[in-house]
Amino acid sequence: KLYSIHKGKPFYDSLINYITSDKVVVCVLEADTDKLIDIVRKMNGKTNPAEAEPGTIRGDFGLVMEANVIHASDSIESVNREMPIFFTKEELE
């Protein structure tokens, strides 16, 4: 469900194969700032690890676009769509 927005795109099958090839850790971060999404995405680095700065998660650990190590929501709308995929309402309270 998380990547259903990419269904039909050329990289979809390899993305799904990668993301389901092993265990994943899912977490929700909360902070007293409206900049949290920007902060986390900056720490992650550009989506393409080849373009990500050294010192970012993808820059240091990413392999290729489909195996770029980490996912982070890009907007509050994405957060609200993605959280229920992994967590119940009770788990998020």
**Residue 38 pLDDT level (bands cut at 50, 70, 90):** very high
Mean pLDDT over residues 6-25, rounded?
84
Q: Which domains does the chain have, with CATH numbers?
A: 4-86 (3.30.70.141)
Contact criterion met (CB below 8 Å) for 40 and 27? no
Q: What was the pLDDT predicted at 1?
A: 77
Active site residues: 71
Q: Residue 54, SS3?
A: coil
Quick one: tokens of 41?
Answer: 């995405």
Confidence of residue 42 (pLDDT cuts 50, 70, 90): very high
Find out whether 74 and 38 touch, Cβ atoms under 8 Å.
no
Q: Which long-range contacts (CB under 8 A, 24 or more apart) does 31-37 make?
A: 37/72, 37/73, 37/74, 37/75, 37/76, 37/79
51 pLDDT above the threshold of 90: yes
Q: Is the pLDDT of residue 65 over 90?
A: no
What value does the mean pLDDT of the chain take?
A: 90
